[in-house]
Structure formats: structure tokens, C-alpha cells
Structure 1
């Protein structure tokens, strides 16, 4: 019953033994949740944006099978700490509420909790987190530092501190980490970049106060998808530069891997920025193609930004012999925003750290690497140094994204 106009659901205790999901999202007039004592098999309770809801029923402690509880943006909820509820909970969202901390009493009880979204302006400190958490979302929090209860999480994979505008530093994080989103951390200066394995993404959009050591450390990190941070120029290690770059065979081998970067001028009113790189042979055949979507949630850009991808010469589906490679760059909808691009040829072993890049290949609605190969064979397109071919449009990506925008 999402988006209902009800102020209350029913009176008394109802026989709800077969009820497994209760979805009341965006029921803006809802002021109370009825007695759920008999809903003993309830697994999901979703109350997102029930902005008039004041309190939870005491019967919530009887929901022993509850696994998923969402109270996001219940701004009037009289809940400054957590009530007792199911030890089977695996996902809890209390973001944008009045929660101020996680009490020590729940840490052991929530041993199955994997996802915890707790970010809000009310959150100024964090002293306890269940050790089982793999995804922690602290978006919009008022914290100034990352506490020890986070750095000691043995299974943490995804950490979101976006828009924590008072956060000044990020210390060494758990070796299990796969993704760090620190977008719009406007006070952030230092980042401990001793990540133990290649990350999926590392993003610092609008972190304009990063010091030089942090910038250098971030740029050097190996990633599966992308790195994003403010910048004014292409870093010096990207020795091949331009908007379309051709490299001769003297600089690479069949197994070579590359870092490519895009320096992009500010893009306004953009939910995500899609960047891509296409590797083409001297004969115009697509060798490989890569793209990533940087989600910036319409944050107003404060600077130019640098995006970095890792890519490789080899394609697992086909091999194309060539004496030179041309790198073509695209920023979907915003090709004109690309200021300059760069390519850094990585050493065969020392710099690549065994990164597997399969997840970064350009695949949208099917096998687009193969389709790109056929497109280029049919057209035999050659690109001059002064022309940026929007190859992502050729692969239908823009059409797909247009549909996405229309439905959102």
C-alpha cells in the first residue's frame, strides 16, 4: 500500500500470520503503525518517507523473522536510538532520521546484518557497528572523522560518506573494501591510500581541498571501473596526450594494459557522467572498448574533474594484430566538455597488479564488444587526431540512456 492517504491502517490485533511484506512507502499521512503481534512471519517492513509517522509499535520486537526494515526519511519518528527487534535483520535503513548513534547492545544481536544505511545530519558520531556489515552508507552525516568501529570492520566492501561536508580525513580502511564514495566531502584533505586490493571505484567528486599527497595516492590506485577527483591538468605520467591518441607498436605488446584519463570541464544538472574509451587498430577495427558511469546525483560541480580508467589491449573474444592503436574518447552527451585526455602504458607486471578488467568492458543490452567489432569492419572508420568519434552512440548506449532519462 505505498503512497496511500491513510492515517491509520486498522484497530486492534489482526490475524496476519501469512503476511510476509508490508510496504507503506510515501504514505505521507500515516501517523501510526498498528499492532503487528500476529504478523509472526513478516520479513519486510518498508516505511520510507512516511513523514507523519511518530513512533513504532512495541509489537515490532515480536517480529522475529524480520529481515529488512526501511525507515528512511521518517523525519518525525521519535527514534534517537534503536528499539529491540529481530536478530535476523540483514538490511536496515534509518537514513535521514533522528538516529544519533548505534548502541553497543545491538552489535552482537545483529550478527546477520549486511547493509546499514544510517546517514543523516543528526549523526555526529558513530561508536558501534555490527561486525557483519558489508555495506555502510553514511551519506549526509555530520561526522568529522572515520571512527575505529568502521576501520575495524572485517567484511566491509562498500563505504559511502558522500556529502559528509565536515569530514576532514579518511584513515586506512579494511582490506576487504571494494568501493569508496566520498563525493562532495568539501572539507576532506587527507586520504590514506593503502588499499589492499584493486577497488571497483574510488570517487572524490567535488573534494576540492584534497592535499597533493592524497591526490597522488588516489591517482596511483588500480581500479576495476573508475577513479574520479578534482583536477586542473592531466597528470605527468600520462605521457601520451590529446583528444584522439595514436600509439605505435614500439610502445606496447599484445598483453599491454593502459591507464587512460579524461580531464572534463564542469557539467551542470547531471545525474551521472558516462565516459568511454575505444581502442582501434590502424585499419579501423575495434580492438577493445571500455566505459564507466560516474554517479554524481546532480551535485553542482566546483571544479574540473579527472576520470581514470584501466583498460587492456587484449580482447578475450577476438585478437586483432596491429602496428598501432588509436584511443578514442567519449563523454556521453558531453563530448564537448572533454578538455584533454591521456594514456599511460603500464609495465607488463610491476604496475598492473593482476587486475582483471572484464567487468569494465562495454556491454550494454548484449555483447556490444562484438557489435562494435562488426560496426567498425563494415564501416572501416579511421579517425583523425582532430576528430572525436562518439563511438558510444554507434553502439546504442545513448539511445538506452535517453530512455532511462525519460522514465526517471
Structure 2
């Protein structure tokens, strides 16, 4: 953005970061300290008493006056307008006519109406206009200096005509532009890295001109319900992520790069994964291919670590899936005809089989399993899941805390005495672990649940910090009946590099659980139970579901620290979904051997 300035931008940002005036995140986002923002605004305000003669416009009233009265001058190089502070703005097509040097234009949550067609836009570097009201960009607009083009929720039907010279363009985001009918010829946008077309519902074809985009890393066309034509027989060297889930008319796999690592084509018309492209996608690690059209699956790339077959018409786990040597995460949610799950690779650690209404048997040795709304499970499967020592979590239908949880109570709190019969003090240390089971009430239509655990002693003294788990079941989520939520964790958490210690004078400890949905509604716990897992049990042991056996590699999903409440909070990263995609988010997979957290 500042390439043509005389500033040493890279070293300047490092200097500001070292003085804590800006923060640069690991993924490149720059956040400015509020004091530095305030100072910058004060400097700009002193440039002129007339807003149209200042370099940057950020104040709502100043921007409104300049645009409505067309008083902008060549001094203005940046406009950032948060429209949520203003109900509506009406401007003419000549509103930017005087701002010949404008480089950065950002309208956020814009409710802008045009009094006539937009006639002029300067040679911008950043064009970020949410809800752009025009059918196309002005005919006189020259985008050769553009680096970022973001036009989400726009009324655009097309961007421009013909082939434009776009040597600097890195990112295009036209998400939720429902009327967009075509993408222009992008053959001269050879530096383009991301192309986002999410929910462009009128889009029918992705142009063959993308064959020149050898720096393209990500192509997202999620929810393009009329998309039918995708170029094939090309190899984009840098393309690693392709998401065309929800493209309900797409019938063929978009084989446009042999370097793709993540391919998502859920809810499409694709009926199988052809053998001819199995070797072509030898680098593929994550495949989401589930749909009601998928009645069989005969071939998949052997390198897969994550596979999503949600909503498929399969009755059994395909042989090609059983043969995957590195499969770590499997989703078969909403497979209504699936009866049993067994014989999978010992590498599998996580299984999501929510809403499989015909499922009766699960025979696996894994770290975590969810069987949400699976009401036909046989007794042996239920017993195996309940007795399994989870490192992730487990969920299945149930109305009572099982007997294996030796300390039980109605409601959300259970108390455990620390003095055994005869007055002997029970000894628990930082190496001890606990396993808990919660009975959750029926819940209608939630997107996620927040489950917390607080460990206290008599007198309301906190023994350990709050732990948190975030549960995101399949979309649209609803509990048709009570469910059991089972989790396992260290009894005492690590604090400031030292393991916590329990006061030997305590008479009892109390586990207090809470559960609320994303709307803040609580009181969802009908009962709870806790089992203390003693030190005498080997921490490296694995409990198999239904004696699945196998040489399953020891490992666990590591719980990340995300925010502090007194000392620390734990969040188990589970799968999730967004309102515009009927997909499941999986834990981040690593090629490194995961840290041991098993018993």
C-alpha cells in the first residue's frame, strides 16, 4: 500500500511495535494503539479547517459533508467510513470527482444510495465498499493500481468490461454479491492470491482466464448455488485451498491444481471421487465431499488426514476410507442410512457421527466421539463410549448420570469428600485427573454451547481456575432429548510454571458446572457426576470403545489457552459451523506427534 512512498515501512512498523504503539499479529494484522490513533487524528485535524483539504477523513460528519457537497480536493488520500454511525447517505455519481489522489476508500456497513450512476472513482489501491449500490464500477475507473478489492454484499452484476491490466491486485472479495452474474477476465491479474465469491448466487461460471493465476492460493465459491462450470485440466502452482461447498449444481470435481491440500465440495451433485484424479491429488489432506448425491465412494487419495462425508447416502463406511493409513478426523454426520462404524484405521482419533438416526454400533479406539441425536445405539456401544477415557470429549443421548461416575448430584454441582471412612485423608496431586458427565436438557436450535467447570473448596475458596469447553454440533443444531456430555481433564491445572497443590486440610471439594448457549441462556444442566481418576492408573493407557483394540498412536487434542479468568481458562477446540455453510470445522491437524494428555 505504501510501496511508492519514501518511508521505510518495514523498519518503521518494527520500531512502532517495539514501542508498543502497534501490534503485529502472527498472520500479519496490524493493530494501532488508541493513543497513536488519537494523535494521528489530531495531526490531520490541524491540516485545515476544511475537511475536504485534509489528507485523511475518518469523522462521520466530515465525510458526509465532503461527499454530499462534493468538496473533496486532491489533498485527500484516504477515507474510512463506519456507516453504523449514520443511518443513510445519499451521494451523486460525481462525489469523488475532485479527489484525484484518493488511494484508500473504505465504507463499512454502508447504507449509501446513489442519486445517479457512479461516474468516477480515482486510481485506488484499496477499494473496500460494503453494500456498494451500483450494478457495475464506473466506466472510467482504472483498477491498475488496486491491491485489495473488497465489495461484499454489493448490488454488482459485473465489475467491468474487457481485460484490465491488474499487476498489483492481490485479493478480491465479492462475497454475498447475490446479483453478480459473471467474473471479468482476470488473465492479467497474475499476482492474485485470493479470490472469494462466497454466496454469489447468480454466478454460473468461473472463467477459464484463471489459468494464468499461478500465485492464487485460495479459491472460495461457497454457496454459489447456480455455479455449474469450473475450468479443468489446468495446474495452478500455488493453489492449496478450494471451497465450493453448497454449489448444488456442481457435478464435476474442480481439478485445477495438483497441489491442493484442502478441497471442500459438500452439498454438490458430485456422485463419486474418480479413480483418475486420485493420484492427481496426491497432496490432498482434507476432503469434504459429503452430499445426498454421494451414494458410494470407491476412491480417495491415500494421504487424507481429514474426511467429511456428512449427509451422504452411504450405508456402511466405504472400503477406501477404511484403508486410509493417516486418517485422523472423520465426519459422517447426518448419514441417515449408516448403521455401523467399524474397521477404521488405528490412526483415527476423532469421530463426528451426529444425527445418524440409524446408527446402532460403533467399534473404534479413538480420543473423542460425538453421537449427538443417535438414539438407536446398542447397549454395548453406549457402555464403551461412557467408559472411554476421553481426551477431547464425548456426547451421546442419555437421561441419567451412569453409575461409573461415583460422585453424582442433581443440578450443576457435585461435592466430593476428601476424608475417607476412618478419617484417612484422600491424597490428590497435580498428576490426578477427573472425568465428568453432565446431563443436558433438550435444547432447540443453538449454534454452540459454552460449558465451564470451576473447582472450589468448602467456604467458596477457589482451588483451581475455570476450565471452558466450547461445543459446536452439526447445523441446524437441536437436542431432541436429554444428552450426556462427557469430558476429562487434569484435576489441578498448571499455574505460572508450577503445578498446583491441594490444601491437605480441606474436607471437601466442589465441582461447579455451567452451560449456556450462544444467546446467553443457561440452566441447561439437569444432573452431573464426577469420577476421580487415581494416580495408580497409567497416564499413557488408552481405553477402547467396544474393545476396538489396534495399535492406535497415543496422542490427544491439546487444549489451548485463550483467555484469563483469574489464572487461566481452557477451551477445547471442537468442530463448528457458520450460518452460511452446512459444514463442520475440524481441529487443526499437525504432522507432528501431538502432546500426550491420556491417562
Does structure 1 residue 218 correspond to structure 2 residue 389?
no
Larger mean Cα displacement after TM superposition, 74-83 or 152-161: 152-161
TM-score (norm 2): 0.56
- Residue 298 of structure 1: how far off its partner (Å): 4.6
| CA–CA separation in structure 1 for the residues paired with 2:388 and 2:210 | 45
What is aligned with 2:513?
A: 329
Alpha carbons of structure 1 residues 237 and 152: separation in structure 2 relative to 1, 3 Å: same
Q: Which structure has the larger Rg?
A: 2
Cα drift, residue 204 of structure 1 = 1.5
Q: In 1, distance between residues paired with 2:345 and 2:456? A: 39
- 1:265-344 to 2 correspondences below 5 Å: 265-282=441-458, 284-288=460-464, 289-296=466-473, 297-317=475-495, 318-322=500-504, 323=506, 324-332=508-516, 333=520, 336-344=523-531
Question: Which deviates more, 207-216 or 89-98?
Answer: 89-98
In structure 1, what is the Cα distance between the partners aligned to 2:427 and 2:472? 32
Quote the residue 1:186 is aligned against. 357
Q: Show the counterpart of 1:103.
A: 274
CA distance in 1, matches of 2:319, 2:257: 26
* Aligned counterpart for 1:365 among listed residues 553, 563, 569: 563
Tell me the distance in 1 between the aligned counterparts of 2:205 and 2:173. Answer: 17
State the match for 2:63 in structure 1: none
What does 1:117-266 align with in structure 2 at a 5 Å threshold?
117-195=288-366, 199=367, 201-242=368-409, 243-250=413-420, 252-254=427-429, 255-266=431-442
CA distance in 2: counterparts of 1:20 and 1:144, whole angstroms: 44
**1:17 deviation in Å?**
4.4
Flag the 1:371–1:94 CA change in 2: closer, same or farther, 3 A: closer
Aligned length: 368
Q: Mind listing any 5+ residue stretches in structure 2 that lack a counterpart?
A: 1-150, 229-249, 421-425, 543-554, 572-599
User: How far apart in 1 are the matches of 2:304 and 2:165?
Assistant: 34
TM (normalized to structure 1)? 0.79
C-alpha spacing 1:146/1:109, structure 2 compared with 1 (3 Å): same
Mapped pair 1:353 → 2:540: yes
Q: Secondary structure at the match of 2:381?
A: helix
Change (3 A) 1:334 1:307: farther
The correspondence of residues 35-46 of structure 1 with structure 2, limited to 5 A, is 35-46=185-196
CA contact (8 A) 1:162 1:184 kept: yes
Cα distance in 2, alignment partners of residues 145 and 69 from structure 1: 32
**Shift in alpha-carbon separation, 1:96–1:4, aligned structure 2, 3 A:** farther
SS at match of 1:213: helix
After superposition, the C-alpha distances for 1:226-251 in whole angstroms (9 at most, x for unaligned) are 21110122112112111322232445
2:203 to 53, 73, 76: 53
**In 2: Cα distance, 1:141 partner to 1:300 partner:** 20
Post-superposition CA distance 1:66-98 (Å, at most 9, x none): 332323222222231124312232333322332
Q: Relative contact order (C-alpha < 8 Å, sep 6+): which is higher?
A: 1
> What is the CA distance between 1:224 and its match in structure 2?
2.8
- Verify the 8 A CA contact 1:66 1:89 in the aligned structure 2: no
Q: Distance in 2 between matches of 1:150 and 1:83?
A: 21
Cα distance in 2 for residues equivalent to 1:109 and 1:313: 48
Q: Could you list the per-position Cα deviations for residues 366-389 of structure 1 after superposition, in whole angstroms to 9, with x for gaps in the alignment?
A: 2x25279xxxxxxxxxxxxxxxxx
Secondary structure of the 2:179 match is: coil
Once residues 17 and 151 of structure 1 are traced to their aligned partners in structure 2, the CA distance between those partners, rounded to angstroms, is 47
Look up the match of 1:404: none
